[in-house]
Structure formats: structure tokens, C-alpha cells
Homo-oligomer: A and B are copies of this chain.
């Protein structure tokens, strides 16, 4: 089975200024193709550490994917170093140069400077992979039977180059099949799930592994099968079917998709629409829903009523109720949900008001207290939740919980079946 290592280069990764999303994306692409990523390594912009990484990781893997260190500015030392490492000579590539000229003249519409022209210089012993989304080309080297591919660190550019590379890699490597089946549960913890699945786990064949991936009140459970025998895929499907039966009470979806996509599908299947009324989440629920392409088919819009005044002016929440009961109260979220439904003429609604922290908590209503209302015209339910995290995580878990409440409401709504 082909083994890969991902090397990311950049001081910004080592001082904690930038999160490495490239490795995540590259790893998922390689895995889908049946290439096993065995390690990921990040090193700084200095020659010794980059050389050590090339030597060490080259000894461990068949394919070494490198991102970063190829931008136009002078903190970049990677390209000359790769050139020397693979024993080549720098030379200007006419295709890359023409492409850079085109980008500056037609797309960026700004003057080209000397350092942009230098980006067309490549080692003469690599295969150049054109970067249609930027100026720094990809480079494909071979050394002692190993493949080394260097790509820029800008995610969008790297992803374009990976699209070119994947078919080439599949051709060059003898690939073992890796299959993943993933489901999503909500409302129950990792340990309880693991206890429910004790026998299931013990009876798994050695070529199928299980993993629990908890996040924001949800747990994803993944079964992974490795091997080329055609029986393996069938066996994985059988086990996954059994897994879904065992967890049916807590199952959100049997695909590797987020909560917001599941809610979107439920609405689309029923030809219904939704809206939100948000205080403490500040538009985060609305944002999650609209990250899904095609959300306009079922999403009308939202009222983000962050201030007392906005709750009163936009959603007619009684000022006396706001003062007497507080913005984080059953009466307020119920009224927010009702008014949002009325104004936006949507079929379903979810409304939230809470205290996300770090400030704003009281003895009565500590940070993490959230009231949610969800439902449809004439049938709106309110619940209180208490979360116990920091601001960012409280927002995330509140949004997921709100969407899960709505999901269950839609599923239970016998007047609006598919």
C-alpha cells in the first residue's frame, strides 16, 4: 500500500499564527484515492530543517507532498533548496512566464514586478505542474524511486495543483483500496456510545477499524476497511448497516456531512422553507445554513437581533418583558420565533437567545445559558440549555443544538411528510 507524508513549510505554522488546513485537505484527497498518509510534519523557513525533513520523510514514504515556501517574497528559500537537493539547475520556464504575464495583465490588473518574473524560474530536473490559480508553479521530482511534489501554500492554489496531480499519482502507484463509512450522532456522549457498541467492536474483523470523533455535542463514528479483496467492501457495508441499527435513536445522518446539510435536505425533500431569529449566535446559524450550495431553495433569511432595541423594533418583543424577564428567557425566544415566522413567511423557524461569555453571566443565568425556540406557525416549543465552554465554542454548540432541535421537529411533524 502506497504511503505518503505531507510536509508543510513556514514559520507562521510554528509560531501559531496560521492553522494548517492544507494538510487536512491533502490528506482527505490522498485517502480517497487509497494512498495512506502516515505522517504530517511542519517545519520552519530554514534550510537545515527543510533538508532534514526531506531526508527523514523521504526514507519513510513513497510520496512526499510539500506545501509552502514558494511565494514571491524573500522569506521564501524553498525553491533553490529543492533545486540543489535534487541536483538540478534553475531555469526560466516559458509556459509559466507566459501564464504570469497573462495573470497580471488580464486578471490582477496591476503592474508586474521583478520578483513575479522570478517565479517562473524552476529547477530543470522537475516536471512543472501549472498553477492556473496563481504565480508559483508546482514541481514534481523523482529521487531513488520516491516522488516529491512541491506546491505553494495558498490553499486555493494548492488545491488546483492537486487536481492535476491526483490522476498522475494514481497511475504511478500501485494502490490498495481504503474505504470509509461515517455516520453522525447527536445528543449522547462518546463513552455511552462506546459502551453501546462493546460487542459490535469486539466482533469486527481485523481489516475493519472503528473511530469516534466527538465535536460540539455530536459524535461522528467512522468505520475504515483496508484491502483489495472485493468481499471487504461488502463486509464493510454490512457492519455499517448494523451500526446504524444499533445507534438509530441518536443517528443524524449515515453520510459524512454536517448537521446543516441534513436540515437542508429535510426541508428540500418536503419543499418547505425555514428562517432564524438569532441573538447570541449573531448570525452563525444562518451562516452555517448558507455554507451549503443551493440553500436558497429552502432558506428565506434571518433576523439578527443583538440589542434589546433590535428585538423590540424588528421582532416586537415587549420592552417590559425584556426588562422583567431578561433577553435570555422563554418569553423572549418564543416571541422572536413567532415574529420571525410571521415576517419572513417561512414554514419552520429556530430562535436563540443566550449568554456566550466571557462577560454577561449572572448567578441566575451563568455564561452558557441559552433559550431556544423552534417549530412552525401555531406550534413553537422552547427549551433551555446550559453549555459550559468559552465564547467561540458556546456559539458553535448552540448553533448545532438549535439545528438538531429543528431537525427532530421536522422529522416528527406528521403534517409535513416527504
A residues near B, CB below 8 A?
A: 11-21, 23-31, 36-45, 49, 53, 56, 71-75, 107-108, 110, 113-116, 154, 156, 180, 182, 189-195, 201, 209-215, 220, 222, 224, 256, 273, 275-276, 278, 281-287, 289-291, 293-296, 299-307, 309-310, 313-314, 343-345, 357-359, 388-393, 395
Contacts and interface: CB of A to CB of B under 8 A. Distances in A.
Shortest Cβ-Cβ A-B pairs, 8 listed: A282-B290, A16-B28, A283-B283, A283-B286, A16-B27, A301-B310, A302-B304, A40-B42
Contacts of A291: 282, 391-392, 395
A73 B220 CA distance: 13
Contacts of A302: 283, 302-304, 306
B307 A296 contact: yes
B19 A20 contact: yes
Residue among A15, A17, A26, A56 having the largest count of chain B Cβ atoms under 10 Å:
A15
Contact of A220 (B17, B49, B285): B17
8 contacts: A16-B31, A20-B40, A23-B42, A116-B191, A283-B287, A284-B287, A293-B357, A293-B391
Given A20-B20, A390-B156, A115 B195 contact: yes
Given A296-B306, A390-B156, A14 B41 contact: no
B16 A26 contact: yes
A11 B307 contact: no
Contacts of A37: 14-16
A239 B87 CA distance: 38
A11 B211 contact: yes
A191 B73 contact: yes
A37 B44 CA distance: 9
A74 B201 contact: yes
Given A19-B19, A304-B304, A190 B41 contact: no
Given A154-B214, A389-B156, A191 B115 contact: yes
A304 B283 contact: yes
Contacts of A283: 278, 282-287, 290, 302, 304
A100 to B, nearest CB: 11
B290 A306 contact: yes
Nearest to A304: B302
Nearest to A75: B211
Contacts of A36: 14
Nearest to A48: B38
| Residue of A39, A345, A393, A395 with highest tally of chain B CB at under 10 A | A39
A65 to B, nearest CB: 12
A21 B134 CA distance: 26
Nearest to A27: B16
A397 to B, nearest CB: 10
B309 A345 contact: yes
A23 B20 CA distance: 9
Contact of A13 (B21, B27, B45, B222): B27
A18 B28 CA distance: 10
B211 A72 contact: no
Contacts of A390: 156
Contacts of A310: 275, 300-301, 344
A326 to B, nearest CB: 14
B27 A15 contact: yes
Given A39-B41, A113-B191, A291-B391, A299 B303 contact: no
Contacts of A25: 16
Contacts of A31: 14-16
B17 A28 contact: yes
Given A20-B24, A73-B191, 9 more contacts: A12-B213, A13-B24, A13-B27, A15-B224, A19-B20, A20-B20, A154-B214, A283-B304, A290-B395
Contacts of A49: 38-39
Residue of A75, A191, A300 ringed by the most chain B CB atoms within 10 A? A191
